[in-house]
Amino acid sequence: MQKTTLLLNGLGCANCATKIENQSKRLPGISNLTLDFARSKLIFEHESLDQDYLIEEIKKIVKSYEPSVQVIPDNPTKKSSTHVDYNYKELARLGISLVLFFIGLLTDFYPVIVLLLAYLVSGFPVLLTSIKNIIKGEVFDENFLMSLATVGAIAIGEYPEAVAVMVFYEIGEYFQDLAVSKSKHAISSLMDIRPDSATVNRNGFWMSVSPEVVETGEIILVKPGERVPLDGFVVDGTSSVDISALSGESVPEYVCKGSEILSGSVVLTGSLQVKTTSQYGESTVSRILELVENASAHKSPTENFITKFAKIYTPTVVGIATALVCIPTLLMGFSVFNDWLYRGLIFLVVSCPCALVVSVPLGFFSGLGNASKHGILIKGGNYLEVLNQVDTIVFDKTGTLTEGKFEVFKIHLPKRLSETQDEPKETELLKYAALAEYQSNHPIAKSILAYANQMIDSTDILAVEEMSGQGLVVETVYGEIIAGNSKLMQQNSIEFDEIPSLHTQIHIAVNQQYLGSIEVRDKIKPDAHDAIKQLKTQGYRLLMLTGDKHPVAKDVAEQLEIEEFYSELLPTDKYQIVQRLIDEENKVAFVGDGINDAPVLALSTVGISMGAIGSDVAIEASDVVLMTDEPTHIVQSIKISKQTKHVVTQNIYFALGTKLLVMLLGTIGLGTMWMAIFADVGVALIAVLNSTRILRFKTN
């Protein structure tokens, strides 16, 4: 199967977008089709041979609903335009209709003719579209309903109100489309971190090419102000680099020769030459953008509800409007027909669900955009919404609350010496420890090597034998080095010092002579205390699960003030504990490193990965990825979720409440067409603007 993405430039009608999506899904050969209204993208999967045919069929569907929309294939390496089209021709048409309306309203110069002329100038596109939709069988279209309402008002002699409704409906639609367009560009600008081009050195010349054609191992040049197009490491130059688009971290990072640098970051000061370590499709920026692209397919329960609600809302209101006209007329006679027809027309004007259909998806996508700005990648509106429902947060320990990177804590020289042993020195201990651990990739080995800071000659190492779960036995030119835990010392009959400690100890012996031990520990993350404190204040139940021994787990739990913790667990034990919590009807967020905890991440209500930037496993295993591994980002993601839900709920209550109020006033004869037009386009415009507040929401 092949995935295709089409840009629908100029798409401003959310109701039309829903119809386009539903019609396109019916095309044979298409699967997994979604229309992302917030970014005007239609994404679908298909067999490769069907692509051209399907694109043409989709274009026909789009043009039948929105003739002015351009359908073009998406270029994955091209930035979205930040230009907002003000459509000055449309603005001029509306201006002329408005002037004609006031002339007809305020003068005696053939007022009816001038008003009808204003009506035709403003309403011609609506009338024409409604006729086309009737032919297609789209009766409950907002264009048809607006046409019916205004023609009905003209029929009963309400010329000023009929013209005012059409003129201000069109003006409201224009500004609503403008607000939607600006909102969409604001969201896209937050989430669009794709590079413009790549300057690559080929045959001694620098040339600008698409990032997609740069191969692994080529040298690219990134100048100040430019975005790094591909992952790599610096081979020449130094610079400060802005990584906020990837991690939300506002403090620039310093890079120099040998430093790793990720695509999507921005070079601030000096130029850099970078040797690429991945192609564009495998780069960090590409994977993040793919995650954002797929987020639109995961609609929240609220979005799905509004889509279903919109399908029944309009015909229901139209049905009530018909009954409102017919029943009183039948009961009281034809003399009251005009009065009740006017009241029924008010219902027609407020029957369009645009305020809900536009603002709800925009609200959730604004939440996703705000989260990405903070270095939090959420895979869809459904996960953003369910974060708001979480009541229990379960933490893995290593790599989540602690850094997962060991540091040397203490050096212990032997308390007693053998008769043939000279007084050992710390430098000697570290030398042999570094030699023993030189070829190991274990985190403990790396911490010892970093602390020892010794120059190692690899030719000094003759053989290495790893003793599973115990340590290493290394043959060197200096003799046999044994580095490991107490069990390894006992097996080799080496007398060693037992030092009570919560931390890991690596004992070192050379040629059966004990030199001492190195104590290493895993550091608690700097912001873990603050994150736990904030979550406890907000009333969440917190648990910590770890495979570490009970004393170590207890020490970390006490430092972080987590009362409920479980230690010495296997991955299956963690799974069973989370399953039990879910069975008890808790909404559980599990926070892990995205590697060993994949089954539990998948099981939990929301899986959150401490996914160090660029981690494939973290992105695949979880619903939410914290790009900087900071626990405080959990707090931020929950705050964004709550704010998004709050604003979306505001829009729903405001839109429905206003429409119901106007319908009630219309029913008892106190409503006007002016109220109805506000309840339609006015409410939609306010709801869209309200949704954009989520983009500006600050979590601190």
Catalytic residues: 396
Q: Please give the sequence-ordered ranges of beta strands (E in DSSP) within 131-223, or none if there are none.
A: 198-202, 205-209, 219-222
Tokens encoding 439: 């070829």
Q: Can you tell me the distance from the alpha carbon of 50 to that of 326, in angstroms, rounded to the nearest whole number? A: 51
**Distance (Å, rounded) from C-alpha 282 to C-alpha 267?**
21
Between helix 683-691 and helix 632-667 the angle, nearest 10°, is: 170
Q: Are strands 513-524 and 402-412 parallel, antiparallel or unpaired?
A: antiparallel
Q: Which two tokens stand for residue 345?
A: 């027309």
Pairing mode of beta strands 624-626, 606-609: parallel
C-alpha dihedral (20, 23, 24, 25), degrees to nearest 10? 120
Phi-psi region of 494 (alpha: psi -120 to 50; beta: other; left: phi over 0): beta
For residues 300 and 380, is the Cβ–Cβ distance under 8 A? Answer: yes
Give the other-Cβ count within 10 Å of 111's Cβ.
Answer: 15
Residue 511, judged by CB atoms within 10 A of its CB (0-12, 13-18, 19+), counts as exposed
Cα–Cα distance, 256 to 661 (Å, whole number): 64
- CA torsion, points 689, 695, 697, 700, in degrees to nearest 10? -170
243 to 235, 251, 253, 261, 376: CA distances (angstroms): 19, 8, 7, 9, 13
Closest to 604 (Cα-Cα) out of 431, 392, 400, 439:
392
Q: Are strands 624-626 and 232-236 parallel, antiparallel or unpaired?
A: unpaired
Q: Which residues contact 648 (CB under 8 A, 6 or more apart)?
A: 302, 359, 360, 363, 364, 691
b/e per residue 435-458 (b: at least 16 CB within 10 A): bbbbebeebbbebbbebbeeeeee
Q: How far apart are CA 182 and CA 178, in angstroms?
A: 6
Residue 150, exposed/middle/buried by CB under 10 A (0-12, 13-18, 19+)? buried
Between 159-191 and 111-136, two packed helices, what is the crossing angle to 10 degrees?
A: 60
CA distances from 537 to 89, 397, 532, 565, 608 (A): 56, 21, 9, 18, 20
Cβ-based neighbour number of residue 281 at 10 Å: 11
What the block records as the tokens of 635 is: 């707090």
Residues in CB range of 389: below 8 A, 6 or more apart: 587, 605
User: d(Cα 593, Cα 621) in Å, to the nearest integer?
Assistant: 9
Query: 255: part of which helix (H) or strand (E)?
Result: strand 253-255
Q: Assign 321 to helix, strand or coil.
A: helix
| Helices of type H across 584-631 | 598-603, 616-621
**Cα(174)–Cα(91) distance, rounded to whole angstroms?**
8
